[in-house]
Chains A and B, each alone.
Chain A
């Protein structure tokens, strides 16, 4: 039976195995982890300086291409492997203020402070719970059969494409709950402080990318501007692709608030597994994905340094096989293809599909 749920005792035993993996990794944390993230930071800063430098000569096509590629990679590393992971507190144990998850700020429109709330708390605690996890469609898309269909969702694919292009602004507005402002559930005045923080961050990001660097480039101005726009676009498309592959490929599930209401820690682990999917690929792919290609391991252990997920994955997968828990993984093209098909399918009315039970069935 495809929806067979392991018994509660099995899930608790599975949870204990995961706790043991976590305890072992925490005890091993050390200079290896710091050397790794510092190497990535050096690479990012180097790519950024090289990219910005080349874009000063952006009128010369090879310089434009090289500069734009370097700056795109810099922004991707900054947001994915550095910013996202550092802001999870993955390196807080180092005591280094430069790696402090509570104060780190990243090169994107979303203020780090908002991200720490909407992502670290809301998304990671309430993963895939419809009505609580705002990553399910960002308040714009229908990403689950659990959400009632409305004619508005006929544009699901179009909205998804727009969200991908403007992803950094979608993320920046994430915590604002714009759709609840539209419906009148939340007043604009309640969000005034948040709006001004977003505006301040967007203004400083735009000043740097779209005014100062292009103006300083003098005769290269239009080309530098185009290079910076392209780098931000490339980062937007890439992060959208990776992030949407995390929770929406075929075989991932969404849940209702009631189902997850009384769950234990082990059942929370189980929900993370049913709601997350991995991507297969080489080491460079995993780094550019911020190791969110190990989405399952990231959701089980969001505050362990992400470069450890690959080694943890071997143990998690073997535990899943032993307990008969699905472990969803596949190459990017296949996972993303199924996400796009899902977005298209959900633009039309559809009934909820059968899915595994979170809680053990209570005998009648």
Chain B
């Protein structure tokens, strides 16, 4: 039964309205703009294909964050705990898209929750914190990402997070609680101080109501919490009896992820599942760059500078569509016509033929032609 509830819903509005909106006849009558470009004039939420969400509640858990509760339109196919969505908003006329992890329970299909933490350089996060109001409609994408709770559920789960990385593991925890998950759950979270700690009240409530849940919080820049200082294996032991026997999910800054990985490797535990919001510094070998990058759709070319294709295209004056700029959201995906690229995150080399690539993390190796 649980399995069924997590299956993707069929796309689009159900019932007669949906069938009419997606009919071939209406498609032919509204060619070339498409049904949605007319339907959105009636209501921004009434669309045949595009996913949008209306903000239904706005709260500020901390001064540097905003938590949005949103009602997606009927094109929303649901999500798995741990996944993220792309959120777009207009700022000074420019549509900015960023990925945000969903924090709510995957068992509430009609409601999604985001907690957006602001960064000094984060335009969209600050905009959402300052400008989000109930009734605001945002363009969103379907849920994406492989950082998810597997099915069937593991016997024990250990969720480790730092800073804004709490959001996807919060979704996992809430989903497990809603499912009446029978196993042990360890929840270890780091924040700078109690003031910056997200979901404090709810975690206390969940821990009180669920004897199988152990919540431990640590503060890295103020008085110690339940655990003190930065991540150690003892902290993991405080949240889970046998950390090596639990399926471990880590989301947070690269330092935390690296620390868990190395402790896990040293102890001989199976690799944890990890997600990072801040990209690790990309190892660019700029001096070794050679070859020519051709932008086939614009009839332009330039010498390969060793930077990701997205930056090379921007340097050439092009404006490719993009989102996260760190290989997550796939917004910048476009067709490579020929040539080999190196994935800046994994270091893996692509084939030399035609394929879709994410240009924000694809560095040309020699001559490359890309459809831009």
Contacts and interface: CB of A to CB of B under 8 A. Distances in A.
Nearest to A207: B28
B96 A106 contact: no
A329 B31 CA distance: 37
Contact of A95 (B25, B32, B38, B94): B94
A102 B92 CA distance: 22
B96 A107 contact: no
A87 to B, nearest CB: 12
B95 to A, nearest CB: 4
Given A49-B38, A102-B297, A97 B321 contact: yes
Contacts of A31: 90, 92-93
A212 B29 contact: yes
A31 B29 CA distance: 31
A321 B97 CA distance: 45
Nearest to A102: B297
Contact of A121 (B33, B37, B95, B299): B299
Contacts of A34: 90, 93
Given A42-B41, A102-B297, A121-B299, A32 B93 contact: yes
A121 B38 CA distance: 31
A29 B29 contact: no
Residue of B28, B29, B32, B37 with highest tally of chain A CB at under 10 A: B32
A92 B319 contact: yes
Contacts of A46: 41
A212 B25 contact: yes
A97 B321 CA distance: 8
A100 B33 CA distance: 12
A106 B32 contact: yes
A98 B93 contact: no
Given A93-B319, A95-B321, A204 B93 contact: no
B37 A208 contact: no
Interface string B296-321: 01010000000000000000000101
Contacts of B95: 94-96
A42 B28 CA distance: 20
B209 to A, nearest CB: 44
A93 B322 CA distance: 12
Nearest to A204: B31
Interface in B15-50: 25, 28-29, 31-33, 37-38, 41
Interface size class of A (residues with CB under 8 A): 20 to 34
A107 B25 CA distance: 17
Nearest to A49: B38
Contacts of A107: 32-33
Contacts of B97: 95
A212 B26 CA distance: 10
A349 to B, nearest CB: 38
A92 B37 CA distance: 18
A255 interface: no
Nearest to A46: B41
Most buried by B among A31, A95, A212: A95
A94 B31 contact: no
B72 to A, nearest CB: 19
B297 A94 contact: no
Nearest to A92: B319
Given A102-B297, A121-B299, A208 B94 contact: no
Contacts of B93: 29-35, 93-94
A208 B28 contact: yes
A205 interface: yes
Interface string A36-74: 000000100110010000000000000000000000000
A167 interface: no
A162 to B, nearest CB: 26
Contacts of A133: none
A92 B97 CA distance: 15
A213 interface: yes
A103 to B, nearest CB: 10
A105 interface: yes
A255 B284 CA distance: 48
Contacts of B96: 95
**Residue of B31, B90, B96, B299 most packed against chain A (CB within 10 A):** B31
Nearest to A48: B38
Nearest to B30: A208
A39 B122 CA distance: 29
A106 B34 CA distance: 11
A45 B32 CA distance: 12
B26 to A, nearest CB: 10
A96 B32 CA distance: 17
B90 A204 contact: no
B321 A105 contact: no
B128 to A, nearest CB: 17
A98 B32 contact: no
A207 B24 CA distance: 12
Contacts of A49: 38
A34 to B, nearest CB: 4
A3 B94 CA distance: 45
Nearest to A83: B32
A29 B92 CA distance: 8
B37 A98 contact: yes
Nearest to A113: B297
Contacts of B32: 105-107, 204
Nearest to B92: A30
A208 B90 contact: no
A205 B94 contact: no
Contact of B38 (A35, A45, A208): A45
A114 B37 CA distance: 23
A46 B38 CA distance: 9
The 5 closest A-B pairs by CB, nearest first: A105-B32, A34-B93, A31-B93, A95-B95, A30-B92
Interface of A: 29-35, 42, 45-46, 49, 89, 92-98, 100, 102, 105-107, 121, 204-205, 207-208, 212-213
Given A31-B90, A121-B299, 13 more contacts: A35-B93, A45-B38, A49-B38, A93-B94, A94-B90, A94-B93, A94-B95, A95-B95, A105-B32, A204-B28, A205-B31, A208-B31, A212-B29
11 contacts: A34-B90, A34-B93, A45-B37, A89-B319, A95-B94, A95-B96, A95-B321, A97-B321, A102-B297, A204-B32, A207-B31
Interface of B: 25, 28-29, 31-33, 37-38, 41, 90, 92-97, 297, 299, 319, 321
